[in-house]
Amino acid sequence: MALPNGISLDAAAIVSTVLEGILYVFSLLLFLWTVHTVLRRNNTTRVITSKIIIAAALLVLSTAHLAVNVVRTIEGLVLYRDKYPGGTAVFFEDVTEWSFGVKMALYLLQTLLGDGIVIIRCYIAWHSWKIVSMPIFLWFALVLTGASCIFSLVHDPETTRTVFAAETAAWISRFLASTLLANLFATALLVYRLWTNASAADPLMGWRPATAPLLRIIADAGLLYSATLVAVLLCYVTKNTGYYVLMDMAVPIISITFYMVIIRVSTRKGPASITKSELATFVRPRDRCTSKSGSCPSSPISPSSGERHSDVEEVVSFEEPVYPIKTLQRAASTDEASA
């Protein structure tokens, strides 16, 4: 087996702990902002509760992972510095240490939760189990490969106590590939659904300026997480010790991507902000004006006035929506689901 390259493992432990701590503080601030935003937004109790519970679960896992990482760094650099056989480098390389196994388990739980959130958003947007069947399959593959990876690492033979050992390389590579594919697949489906709904609603309400940022929000969040996973996978394949650093950074990044989507979607103007009463008074243009001039009145006709210009406009009732209104509602529902 080729020796790992890159910075020393004791230096990697220090760098990873510091960078994870910085990202954790940032994620903590975003968590508080997320809770504030969710509570202020006009949502149902079920939606508010579910979002806060998920946000809190991500924060708890991030906190536990950082705490274990700090303890592991202190053990390797202070407590066992002159006592561990082989020195600090061997300590941080030893995957049979309890702290390494706990860190991997916490990372697996955080990854499962983060990918599960994206898949749920995708299902809410599509309302079809067939569409999200592939991301769900990849999620279960992630469970299998992750659990097998942790078991393989913890029970590794004495002679191969490293994540780069041949006995564990196959499981770790499959685990990283599964989470990358699951995230990319679900994010792509969600972005495509938002784009198609935005295209359908754009002629009705002129929402392109509002929905375009939404697409960027989801795409940017997926790109941030996917870029991290690609970097982790590349470091592992090339046996670079930067793998340890990026793995620790990935935990708070998962939380940050979730909080970022919630905050940016909740603070923007879009279909989700349109109320039922506003939909009830929505006036849509008929096919085209039939006048020779080709011009139409620019001011909408109030449904309460009793006037109706059959050649120009038609007042659409919320209680009896036609297809454009259904498109409007579907866009609003998808907008809400994206958060």
Of the given ranges (30-39, 156-165, 255-264, 322-331), which has the lowest mean pLDDT? 322-331
| Radius of gyration, CA atoms only, the chain | 26
The yes-or-no verdict on residue 44 having pLDDT over 60 is yes
Query: 82: which residues sit within 8 A by CB, 6+ positions away?
Result: none
Amino acid at 329: Q
pLDDT above 90 (res 109): yes
Domains of the chain: 9-273 (1.20.1070)
DSSP 274: -
Q: Which residue has the higher pLDDT, 163 or 255?
A: 255
How many Cβ atoms sit within 10 Å of the Cβ of residue 288? 10
- pLDDT tens for residues 169-194? 778 888 888 888 888 888 888 778 77
Mean pLDDT across the stretch 97-102?
85
**Per-residue pLDDT tens for 279-297?**
333 344 444 444 445 455 4
Give percent of the chain with pLDDT exceeding 70.
Answer: 67
Range in 73-77, 115-119, 327-331 the model is least confident about: 327-331
Residue-wise burial string across 260-271, b where 16 or more C-beta atoms lie within 10 A, e elsewhere: bbbbbbbebebb
